[in-house]
Amino acid sequence: MQDESLLAHLMHNWHEVAKKDQQRILRQAKPLGALTQTDYSYISKAGPLQKLNLYFPRSFDTEKLPTIIDIHGGGWMYGDCHLNDNYCRFLAFQGYAVMAMSYRLLPQIGLREMIQDIFASLHWLESFGSQKGLDLTRVFLVGDSAGAHLAGLTLCIQKSLRLQNIYGVEALKFNFDALAIICGVMEPRKLALGNGIMSQAANLQLKLMIGKNPEISNAIDFSQVCRNIHLPPIMIIGGEEDSFWWQTKLLLEILKQNKFEFHTKLWLHSQGPHLTHVFNVSHWEWSESQETNLAMLDFFQKNSVSKQKN
């Protein structure tokens, strides 16, 4: 299949996903107890995909709250800062400030520009978050699917001057205490090993990611960028019903090989066929999702407490 027709097929697939997501979100009840501040532009002359949302518990007063940064998934081609709205509301209700950003997408831009948008949103938070009640001494990073890949890259780039130069970003003045990876698609270069439209289009997606920036070609997979970097604790969330379970297994091997500290919340086939890709983000209301998300928050809390003790 030629690149043009393959790209059209891929974009049609994400258009269908978007319709299903919209139908699901309309049916879902919203979590109670959260306040939202939406569509802040994080750069001057921002485009429609250069905005962010903030979420707070309804009982929020003057005390600064621990902060969760959520990076949405969508195959690097789909989604915005509203996609995980209900999930972010649920996290906020548990006593966190949550920031979710949009970022520009393939095929309009490449991976380097995507990362630059994410860092621009984080620099906005660096400038304005504290006055809005976010505690930037307690910051946690989470991403799902392709958003997990972007979160993993963000964490490594923050720790590496070499990677900052490759991606053309400046380090943040705050750091991340922990990272949660949800059904992560962390190895784009290995996508051709799987099944489905994203695997069929793996070479095209890689070409689009690199775009006009060949210098990033050896700094795309998480396994490429995490070497020789000291990372904070990582939590891996996934399950055997996930169509990208094979990517989660790859990631677990990478973490073991690099001797990173990591924890897991993994669901078996026997625990339910409905526990598919990013189920705990798209279906916040399920009991399994709430169990998973509360386990993630417990992981964040323990790492925040241990940091304060040290």
36-41: long-range contacts (C-beta < 8 A, 24 or more apart)?
36/85, 36/89, 37/132, 38/81, 38/82, 39/81, 40/124
The count of residues in the chain is: 310
CB atoms within 10 A of CB 206: 16
C-alpha angle 125-168-129 in degrees, rounded to nearest 5:
5
- What per-residue confidence (pLDDT) applies to 307? 60
What number is the average pLDDT over the span 113-121?
Answer: 98
Residues sharing a CB contact under 8 Å with residue 269, sequence separation 6 or more, in sequence order: 240, 241
* Contact criterion met (CB below 8 Å) for 211 and 168: no
Q: What is the pLDDT of residues 178-188, one digit of tens each?
A: 999 999 999 99
Strand 51-57 relative to strand 34-41: parallel, antiparallel, unpaired?
antiparallel
CATH topology of domain 3-309: Rossmann fold (3.40.50)
Query: Residue 310 pLDDT > 60, yes or no?
Result: no
Question: In angstroms, rounded to a whole number, what is the distance separating the alpha carbons of residues 96 and 84?
Answer: 15
Question: In angstroms, rounded to a whole number, what is the distance separating the alpha carbons of residues 217 and 181?
Answer: 23
Q: What is the pLDDT of residues 135-176, one digit of tens each?
A: 999 999 999 999 999 999 999 999 999 999 999 999 999 999
- What per-residue confidence (pLDDT) applies to 126? 97
Q: What is the pLDDT of residues 57-106, one digit of tens each?
A: 998 776 899 999 999 999 999 999 999 999 999 999 999 999 999 999 99
Enumerate the domain spans of the chain.
Answer: 3-309
